Amino acid sequence: MAATSVAGATPRRRRRLSLLTRRDKLFLGLALGIPAFAHIFLVWIPTLASVALSFTSWNGIGGIENIEFVGIQNYQNLPSYPPFWPALTHNLIWLAVFLFIATPIGIFFAVLLDKDIRGTRFYQSALYLPVVLSLAIIGFIWELMYAPERGFINNVLGTTEQGNLIDWLGNRNINLWAVLVAASWRHIGYIMILYLAGLKSVDPALKEAAAIDGASERQAFFRVVFPVLRPINIVVLVITIIESLRAFDIVYVINRGLNGLELLSVLITNNIVGEASRIGFGSAIAVVLLVISLGPILLYLSRAMRNEPT
Amino acid sequence: MAELDQVRSVSRRTVLKGLAGTAGLVTVPAIIAACGPGAATTAPSAAAPTTGGESAAPSAAGELTFGSNYSDETPKNAMQAVVDAFTAESGVAVKVNTVDHGTFQDQISSYLQGTPDDTFTWFAGFRMKFFAGQGLATDISDVWANVGSNYSEAFKTASTGDDGKQYFIPFYNYPWVVIYRKSVFTEKGYTIPTTIAEFTALGDKMKTDGLVPMAFGDSDGWPAMGTFDIINMRINGYDYHVGLMAGTEKWSDARTKAVFEQWRTLIPYLQEGALGRTWQDAAQSLLNNDAGMYFLGTFAGEQATDPAVHDDLDFFPFPVFGTQYDSELGIDAPIDGFMVSKAPANPEAAKAFMTFLSTGAAQNIFLESSPNNVAAANDADPSAYTPFQQKMAEIIGNSQKIAQFLDRDTRPDFAGPNGMQGFLQTFLNDPDQDLDAYLGTIQSFWDSLG
C-alpha cells in the first residue's frame, strides 16, 4: 500500500525494489517456489493426467505403451452406463440434504449451545463425538442399526418379521435416505463445532446493542450475528459442498456403493481399482466430478477475491 | 472357457469311485489315466506313478516368499501349518505375507506388477487366465508334468491358460448347493426335492409351517450370481452358460431371458429384503431355523461355529427343471489354489512349493481345519473327511459339468460391482420389470467393454 505514495516516481521505485538482498530473493524464491512446485506436482499434474487418461483405454497392466487412445468413446459410453445417472442424482441429493437440512441443523445446535445452557459441555461432546469417528466406522455402526433381523431399529419398531420387514439398506426407495441420516449424524456435529467457535468470537456488545434496540432473539441472529459471521459462513458452505462431493466411505462400507447407493466417487473407485481396471473410463467419470466441483469452487473463489481488499 | 468340456465328466466320476473304494490312493490315478479320453498331453501312461506328487523338485533350498489372502483366523492358521510342513520337508524357509482377502483381490493387479511374492494364492478359471495372459505369472507346466496325474482332467483344464500351458495349482474346491438342517427336515417330515415342482411344493409347505423357504442375502452383490449360474445351467445347459460368460452368446438372447423368467417364479420363496442382508446374516436365518433352506457355497458352514449345529447341516444339489440338461447336473464348484509370480527370486523353491501343495497330504493338512472344502488332488485321504466333506465330494463327482462361478468365469470388469453385481441387484429390486430392456442394458454394457 505504501507504494501508492511514490506512484509517480518510477525510477526511484525500481531502485527500492532492488534493495532486496540476494538472501531475501532466495528466501522469497523458496517460500513461493516449494509450495508452487508441490501444488503443480501434486494437484495440477494428476488432474491433467486424469483428463488425458479419460480419452484412453487402459486396463492398468503394463507401461504407457499399453495405453490406447480412444478419443471421446469413454464419454460417449457414459450416458448409457447404467449406474451413471443414479450416481449423479445421488450426489446432488446428498449435496441438497447437507446444504438445506444437515448444515442448518448444525448451525441451530451451535446457536443453542452458545447460550450456555446447563450441561452444554456434555451436549457439545455428544454431538461432536461422531466427527471423531471415520465415515467407515460410522458405516459399520449404522449397518448394525439398520440390519434387517438383528438391527436395533427394526427391533425397536417390531418390524423384523417377513411381511412387515423394513429393509433399510436394501430397499432402493429408502436406503439413500437411511444413509443420509447416518452421514448427517456426523456432519451436524462437524458444522456445530465450527459454528460454535465462530459464535464465541462474536463481540457480545453487538448482541446487547441489538437487544437494547428491541430486536428479538431471532432478529438479532439473522440481522446481526449471521452477517458478522460471514467468513465462518463461507467456510461452512465450502466444507458442506466438499463433504457432499467426496462422500464415499460410508456407502462403500455398507454395500460398495451398489443398489441405490451409487455415488460418482464410488464409480470412479470401482472402475479404477480392482482386478481388471478400466482406468480410462474411471478417469472420464472423475472428470465429470471435477467439472461439478469446479462450479462451487469458482463461485467461492470469485466472491472471495472480489471482497479481498477490505 | 469353452474348452471346459465333457472330459471332466469321466474323471469326476472316477474320483467318486475312488472315494467309494476306501483305499483309493493307488487306484485313483491309475483309473484316471486309463479312463481319461483326452489325456494325450499328460499321458502318464497306464503305469501310473503310485501317488501324484513325487516330490519332483530337485535341490530346492534357501528362502521363499508367499503372498496369502487367507486372512481369517482359522484358514490363516491352517495355511501356516501347511507352510510349516513344507519347510520341514524341504528345508526352505517360507516367509508368509498375509493380506486381507478383499484388499488382496482389489490390489492384485498392482501387486503382481510391483514386487510380488514368489508365490501367491489365487483362483482358477478366467481370473487365472487373465493374469497369465498378461504375462504376470510363471508357466509351471514342468511342475504339472510331474503332478498332473494327481489331478482329474477338469482340474487341469481349469489350471491351463489360453496358451495351453499350466499356471495354477488347484488346492481345494467347494460346491454351491441347497443347504438345510437335518433336524428340521426330520421333525417336519420333509423330503429332499429333486425337481423344481417338488422344490416349490416343499417351499409352500414350509411357508405354512412358518418357515422362510429360502434364506437369501445379496447386499455384497455376488451371492445372487450363484442363483443365476445354476438356473442358467439347469435350463440352458452348461455350454450355453460358458458361451454367455465368454461373450459368444448374448445376454439379450431369449434363452437368457428365460432364466430371469424362471427366477421370477422363485422370488416368492426367497427371503425378503435380500438386498440389505449380508450372506452371513442369511446363513444365520438358516441356523436359527427361521429359514428352511439356503442356496450358497458350502462355506456357509463357516457360520455354524457350534460343531453340533455344523453336524446338523446337510445339503443337496439344486433341483432340476425337466430339461434335456438335467443329466448334466451342472454345478458351480470354484477352485482355489496357487500361482507363481512372473519373476520369482527363487524359482526352484517356488516350484518345489507348488509340487508340495499339489499333494493330497498337504491338502489334508489344510482341510483338517477347513471342513467346508474338499481337496483337489486325487491322493487326498478321503477317510479324513467329515460326512459333510464326503457329501461335497459326492455331489461334485456326480456333476458332469463344473463351472467356476460367474465372477471367475467371465471378465472381471464385467462381473464387478458396477457390472453384473449391480445388474443382478437391479433385477432383484424389481423382478417384474421389463426384461427385454433390462437384458438390453446388460448386453450394451458388455459391448461397451470392447
Give the integer Cα–Cα distance in Å for B63 and B50. 30
Q: Does B443 touch chain A (CB under 8 A)?
A: no
Q: How many CB atoms are closer than 10 A to CB B375?
A: 25
Cell of B319: 433341483
pLDDT in the model for residue B88: 92
Instruction: With a cut of 70, say whether residue B226 has pLDDT above it.
Output: yes
How do the domains of chain A map onto residue ranges?
88-268
Helix or strand run (H / E) with residue B378: none
Q: From the list A167, A258, A271, which residue is nearest B425 (CB)? A: A258
**CB < 8 Å from A in window 100-129 of B:** 105-110, 113, 127
- Span A14-73, pLDDT tens digits: 555 567 788 888 998 999 999 999 999 998 999 999 999 999 888 777 777 778 888 888
Q: Which residue has the cell 449471521?
A: A226
State how far Cα B40 lies from the chain centre. Answer: 26
Q: Does B133 touch chain A (CB under 8 A)?
A: no
Nearest residue in A to B427, CA atom: A259
CB contact under 8 A, B219 and A57: no
Where does the pLDDT of residue B213 fall: very low under 50, low under 70, confident under 90, or very high at 90 and above? very high
- Span A249-268, pLDDT tens digits: 888 888 888 888 899 999 99
Which of these, B29, B122, B13, lies nearest to B393 by C-alpha position?
B13
Among B103, B113, B219, B433, the residue to mutate for chain A (most A Cβ within 10 A):
B219
Instruction: With a cut of 70, say whether residue B57 has pLDDT above it.
Output: no
Paired strand residues for B335: B173
- Span B169-186, pLDDT tens digits: 999 999 999 999 999 999
Looking at the predicted complex, does its ipTM rise above 0.85?
Answer: no
Mean pLDDT in residue range B226-242: 95
Q: From the list A148, A254, A258, which residue is nearest B273 (CB)? A: A148
Instruction: With a cut of 70, say whether residue A162 has pLDDT above it.
Output: yes
Is the CB of residue B50 less than 8 Å from the CB of residue B378? no
CB contact under 8 A, A274 and B416: yes
Instruction: With a cut of 80, say whether residue B345 has pLDDT above it.
Output: yes
Which of these, B42, B28, B56, B49, lies nearest to B355 by C-alpha position?
B56
* CA B172 to each of CA A139, A251, A299: distance values in angstroms, whole numbers, following the listed order: 34, 34, 59
Task: Domain A88-268: state its class.
Answer: mainly alpha
Mean pLDDT in residue range A170-177: 88
Mean pLDDT in residue range B330-353: 93
CB contact under 8 A, A276 and B285: no
Residue numbers in A near B134 (CB within 8 A): 61-62
In order of their start, the domains of chain B are: 7-47+58-174+334-379 (3.40.190.10), 176-331+406-449 (3.40.190.10)
